[in-house]
Amino acid sequence: MHLNKKKSWTYIILFTVVTLFLGSFALQVRVEDDIKKYIPQDDPQKIIYDEVSENFGLNTLILSAVEFEDASKHLNDIQDISDELKELEGVDNVISLINAPRINSNEFGEISVGNLKSSLDLKDYDSDEAKVMIMSDEMLKGKFISDDGNNVLIIIGLKDDADGLIIGDEVREIFENSNIKYHLLGTPLANGEIESIVKANLRTLVPLVTFLVALVLFFSFRTATGVILPIISVAIADIWTVGIMVLSGLTFNTTTAAVPVAVVGIGTAYAIHIISKYYEEVQKGLVGEQAVNETVKTVGTAVLLSAFTTIAGFLSLLTADLKPVWQLGIFTSIGIAISLLSATILVPSILLIISPKPRKKMSEEGESPFLKKITHGIVYHRVTTFTVIGVFIVLFSLYIPKITADTQIENFLNDKTEIVQSSKFLRNNFGGNDYIFIDFKADGDNSFRDFYFNRSLRDIITYSKSFNIISQTTDISEVVAKLTKGFTGTEYIPGSNAALEQNYMLIEGSEGIDKILKAEDNESVAQIMVNTEVFNRVESIYEELLKFEKEYILKEYSVEDFDTSNSDHLKAFENEIRRFVYARGGSYKDTLTQNIVDVKNMNVLKIIDKMNFDKFYNDFNKYITNYGEEEITKDELKAFLMGGENDFLSEYFEYYTFENEAKIKSDFAYSKIKNIDVGLNDEQIKELSQYVNDLQVPVQGGNNKLDVRITGIPILANEVNDMIFDNQTKSMILAYLFVFIIFSIQMRSIFVGLLSLIPISLTILSNFGIMGMTGISLNAATVTIASITIGAGIDYTIHYLTRFKIEYANLGDKFQAAVKTSATSGRAIIINSLAVVLGFATFIFSDIGMLRQFGILTASAMIIAPILTLTIFPMVMTLLSDKILGKFSKGSKIIKKLKDKGGN
């Protein structure tokens, strides 16, 4: 490319027009940080989450906690707020203390599934009575009202096509107008707050990094041109890159927010090379067009190689499964490419037009006495230097196993943000701040009414409650069990499909049930509130639930009438009891099953004969007096039981045993197993005693199919954590490969390509050690550090080896060549490093912890990489034989061009 004034003006105008065009779009950039969108659409966990959340309207939830002094006095207010929320266009459903499902009963003993709204006249009710009702209801307390009775939870489900940011603002407005204290948590609210934080950060960090880089440029060049042109170059790159993102329909997130700052930090180096070489040519006597074209011709290839290796490092992130990571890779690569384009076309064009003069000599020939002295010590004390480096590397390596992954956005935000404060409030008052969902889907008509379906759900939910980070659950099996308690006095799932049919006749169609049951799809979902403060516990719970599901829940089965003489039936029954005990943290013993089966096989008359007489006498008297009869004496009952004739007692005894056989058997079973030490409490033993009345058993194999799936945002976050480790390895290997190939081709030496990897490999190792040492986590931002280090850190290697070839060819002495290379190129390497370090160090001032960590690690890498380059290469080069170095110094494309032109 040969520039003249006409071409230069054309390029300047073209860059200006494109900048104005893309700048108009860059101003429209939005920020969205939704972990659901991190994962590829075809990921199995993502597919499960999407299906379950779509079926039950769980895709986007807003959790709103409202503070009262006594919530039972404000049921009207809660109702009014819920009604207003329902009216919002993007809201699909609202579940609150008022309409959450509960078991109702009236003065006539009638049992039904309803809610507070159907139990109370909200316009005229006694708040004290309401409080007693609410606080004694396990389906409400701890779930929709805090244990102290002051705070309530309102769950707002949004429609799939709702604009979360708009809805978030509308929800907040409703609470503000209600003049109550509230706490909001959910993706739509988080996106709004994160957008404000990210935009505020960009407004602060981009000017800051520009100022710091400008300082470095000023102290390097001491001219306005040397400061302004590199800044213009990267400013254009930022505007174009963000504009392209917006045109591509993409938004910023907490990871890609690093792109503009990264481009400024890295991209200025290319303009620095051009301007530095231009000043050199002017000092040699060249002017205007000749000086500019000579500059581009001389250093253009070196700048291209530097940019290509950096771009290769970022493009290696395209192997990542995580959307923010590969977006960071591709758009930072685009930004660097635009910086390169601007540095090699726009900057030379402006230089040609304005023809600036240098204020001081900028040639690299001037040696640094400090670097010369240091390098002299390094090459003549190699053993000591190797030992020192080795000790540090070993020390850092010891901390690498301590690295953990963390994608919980709450952990990276200031304690004063709404996200963090609302999470804490929910955890403190409702025991958790997010949900895990367990989805049960059956195959067959009305198979959701199957007793095995419901018992399996109840047991896995009960098992989940054994983990201390799980605070509350809502599921259909709880409704069934509590409805059964209303009829029998014991909370359990009957072992009979016919009994379940009766329960579901009362359940289906009740308000709020559709959020946990889709009858038409034979599908039910359990909502488990989890405390994600200790996030690694979520993954272990997920693994335990999967293990429970695999070991204790049949995927294919048939429901058969229980025959205690059938060994398959006995085995199936034993498995039911075994699962019951394990789910409640007990230790199964064979005597449990044997005792229950023995009681089941007993005639009710025989059981009565073995029962405690006083208890039976009291129960029987209570029964007959309920029918208006007078009590009988103990002697009368004893005489009858011993075979005496009594028509009155005979009739009532027949009715009593028929109506109470199940209770008689369960009570007797309880008396037989309560003293067996299996680690269950009294209520659990009473529930297990009801299994004596099971009429059916689930036998493995058959036409009934049951699919159990576990999902939720915490599960997706764990998936992201796993992907981060995998992506780290893949992108790092690819970055190594890219850089090695590019460098080997340009240097025409595989050996040199391998040498180039030494300092950056040790830099990466050191950085991982720093992560483990300081507790910095692997996340969507820090996972990119290794690839960035490889791509950007190779620049220092390019500088050093390129100069060493020239010095060795000129001096013929490897020791002198090593010292002079460090004393000359070392200065440029340090200046370049300082600009990049200051660029990334600005992230330390970010309000987002993830970006702070990213800045610390990248700045550390850009400090360590040049230090290792200026220590390892002098030692390595002086260890190599002159024969190897002679081959090493031949034939490089870069060296030929630089040597022919007298460049550096």
Over residues 881-899, mean pLDDT? 60
Q: Report residue 203 CA to chain centroid gap.
A: 27
- Altogether, the residues listed in the chain come to a count of 904
User: pLDDT (tens digit, 9 = 90+) per residue, 570-610?
Assistant: 999 999 999 999 999 999 999 999 999 999 999 998 999 88
Residue 893: predicted pLDDT = 42
Contact 394, 492 (CB under 8 A): no
User: Helix axis angle, 590-601 relative to 647-673, nearest 10°?
Assistant: 170
CA separation for the pair 115, 127 (Å, rounded): 16
Distances (CA, A) of 656 to 606, 621, 647: 15, 10, 14
CA separation for the pair 32, 886 (Å, rounded): 56
Distances (CA, A) of 462 to 456, 467, 538, 668, 670: 10, 10, 17, 25, 21
Residue with more model confidence, 361 or 34: 34
User: pLDDT (tens digit, 9 = 90+) per residue, 165-193?
Assistant: 888 899 999 999 999 999 999 888 887 88
CA separation for the pair 770, 783 (Å, rounded): 14
CA separation for the pair 697, 575 (Å, rounded): 10
Cβ neighbours of 108 (radius 10 Å): 5
| Structural domains of the chain, with CATH | 5-28+193-410+715-901 (1.20.1640.10), 61-100+117-185 (3.30.70.1320), 563-693 (no CATH)
Map 509-543 to HEC letters.
CCCCHHHCEEHHHCEEEEEEEECCCCHHHHHHHHH
What H or E segment, with its residue span, contains residue 441? strand 434-443
Cα angle 520, 521, 525; round to 5: 115
Contact 274, 301 (CB under 8 A): no
User: pLDDT (tens digit, 9 = 90+) per residue, 218-273?
Assistant: 887 788 888 899 999 999 999 999 999 999 988 888 788 888 888 887 888 888 88
User: pLDDT (tens digit, 9 = 90+) per residue, 714-737?
Assistant: 898 888 888 887 777 888 888 888
Over residues 66-80, mean pLDDT? 94
Whether residue 107 is predicted with pLDDT greater than 80 in this model: the reply is no
Q: Which segment of 302-306, 425-429, 599-603 scores lowest on mean pLDDT?
A: 302-306
Residue 132: both structure tokens together: 């007693």
CA separation for the pair 102, 821 (Å, rounded): 80
Residue 652: predicted pLDDT = 92
Residue 454: what are its φ and ψ, rounded to 5°? Answer: -75, -40
Highest mean pLDDT among 16-20, 514-518, 786-790: 16-20
Residue 450: predicted pLDDT = 93
For 725-764, b where at least 16 C-beta lie within 10 A, e where not — what string?
A: eebbebbbebbbebbbebbbebbebeebbebbbebbbbbb
Highest mean pLDDT among 498-507, 676-685, 748-757: 676-685
The percentage of residues in the chain with a pLDDT greater than 70, rounded to a whole number, is 96
CA separation for the pair 207, 214 (Å, rounded): 10
- If you compute the radius of gyration of the chain from its CA atoms, what whole number of angstroms results? 37
Over the chain, what is the mean pLDDT?
87
**What amino acid is encoded at 658 in this protein?**
F
Over residues 772-780, mean pLDDT? 87
Q: Return all residues near 210 (Cβ < 8 A) that are at least 6 apart.
A: 231, 234, 235, 264
**What amino acid is encoded at 115 in this protein?**
N
CA separation for the pair 345, 292 (Å, rounded): 10
User: pLDDT (tens digit, 9 = 90+) per residue, 648-685?
Assistant: 899 999 999 999 999 999 999 999 999 999 999 999 99
Residue 734: both structure tokens together: 């690819």
DSSP string for residues in 343-376: IIIIHHHHHHHH----SS---TTS--HHHHHHHH
Over residues 100-128, mean pLDDT? 81
User: pLDDT (tens digit, 9 = 90+) per residue, 810-861?
Assistant: 888 888 888 888 887 787 788 778 878 887 888 888 888 888 898 899 899 9
DSSP annotation of 699 reads: E
Contact 68, 289 (CB under 8 A): no
Distances (CA, A) of 822 to 107, 409, 851: 94, 43, 33
Contact 700, 557 (CB under 8 A): yes
Residue with more model confidence, 370 or 349: 349
Looking from the CA of 891 toward its CB, the CA atoms found within 13 Å total 11
DSSP string for residues in 562-627: --TT-HHHHHHHHHHHHHHHHHTT----HHHHHHHHHHHHS-HHHHHHHS-HHHHHHHHHHHHHHT
CA separation for the pair 53, 73 (Å, rounded): 34
pTM of the predicted structure, to 2 decimals: 0.81
CA separation for the pair 617, 632 (Å, rounded): 9
User: Helix axis angle, 259-283 relative to 224-247, nearest 10°?
Assistant: 140
With cut-offs at 50, 70 and 90, classify the pLDDT of residue 888.
low
Helices then strands (H, E): number in the chain?
34, 13
CA separation for the pair 139, 155 (Å, rounded): 15
Residue 591: both structure tokens together: 């005597």
User: Which of 580, 577, 609, 610 is closest to 594 using CA atoms?
Assistant: 577
DSSP string for residues in 149-166: S-EEEEEEEEPTT--HHH
